[in-house]
Structure 1
Amino acid sequence: MTVMTLPARAGDRPRTGPSVPHVQLTQNSPDEIRRQLERWMATALPSTEIRPSEISEPGSTAFFLARDARPPQGAVLLPPRLVAEFAHIHRDGSLHVALSREDQDELVAKGWGERHPLYSPTVNVVMLYGPRTAGELEVAKTVVASSYRYATGRPLRSAEPGPL
């Protein structure tokens, strides 16, 4: 399995809610950056369906495996079903995604996100902080592509993050 490689995120980590709903409270994505990420996700993730999240706050856009698809053995996607929703984007621009343990470690170590307060072996949810710039948008695409690969077992053609 390929592990994503991320640059270090600039600046301090944003403040996030300590419990549910787990949202980003500071350093939110500008609306246009969030819209660009949503548009990219809507067109770049084959064999997926877009609909309201089964677990997130109202207004979150979620990405599911196509109805006849199943994740690879051992992959744990987002609750409640654990086999369908692999990512959702909040109105603040942050995302919750399912990732391999190695990719989670990279995300957290490089300052791009954190594990959900309810994280466990059966609640495989990590937060990707909302991108603030065009460069951070490219990093977000890399993370989403890794979530897609984890959920489907297939790589998504994705460029490595550009300069920040």
Structure 2
Amino acid sequence: MTLPVLPEREGDRPVTGPEIPHLQLTQTSPPDVKENLRQWMTTALPGVVTGRSEISPPSTWAVFLKEAATAEDVHLMPPRWNSEFVHLHADGSLHLCLDPADHPAFLTSGWGEKHPFYDRGVNVVMFYAPRSQSELEVAKKVIAASYHYATGHAATTETATA
């Protein structure tokens, strides 16, 4: 387990689409919050590269490991299953991979939901689009946990909150 204890998400659950592509339809991120998140993901996680997602719509921006995850128990996003571990949609929501042991705590915290293919063995959850700076800080913690799951390396304090 790598996910820190999360505060309960405030407010109603956003409306999300029930099919692929799995997107958030309400409560999207303000442009400045989304851009701050993108900038943080570009600079805060060592050993990553960014680019267009290999699995999501063309407007989706992803973070990939420079060196593929090799641990047998680490399962990231298709199609390669060992490189893309988080991506950011145009609405500000994220899909990411977490240690399966962290899924129950993440889902009960109210910050996200299962991907439509989750019950088919795809280790992907949606983190709802952060709506404020404080929600952006929670997103960083969850992304840092995804990074730790993907790499086996804990993010430093500076990485998790920069």
Q: TM-score range by the shorter chain?
A: over 0.9
- Helix, strand or coil at the partner of 1:87: strand
Unaligned runs of 5+ in 1: none
1:98 maps onto 2:97 in alignment: yes
Alignment of 1:34 onto 2:34: yes
Deviations 1:4-24 (A, max 9, x none): 210000011100000101000
| 1:108–1:158 distance in 2 versus 1, CA, 3 Å | farther
DSSP 3-state at the match of 2:81: coil
Distance in 2 (CA, whole Å) between partners of 1:129 and 1:71 is: 29
Alpha carbons 1:29, 1:131 under 8 Å: kept: yes
* CA distance in structure 2 between the aligned counterparts of 1:121 and 1:152, rounded to whole angstroms: 24
**Could you tell me which residue of structure 2 aligns to residue 125 of structure 1?**
124
More helix by share: 2
Runs of 4+ in 1 over 3 A off after TM superposition: 158-161
**Residue 57 of structure 2 aligns with which residue?**
57
**Cα RMSD over matched residues?**
1.6
Q: CA deviation at 1:121?
A: 6.0
How many Å apart are 1:152 and its aligned residue? 0.3
Matched with 1:19 is 19
TM-score by length of 1: 0.92
Deviations 1:99-144 (A, max 9, x none): 0122222221010000101114641110000100110000000000
Query: TM-score scaled to structure 2, two decimals?
Result: 0.93
Identical positions, percent: 50
- Tell me if structure 2 keeps the 8 A contact 1:71–1:151: no
Instruction: List runs of 5+ in structure 2 lacking aligned partners.
Output: none
* Alpha-carbon distance in 2 for matches of 1:88, 1:13: 20
Residue 71 of structure 1 deviates from its aligned partner by 4.1
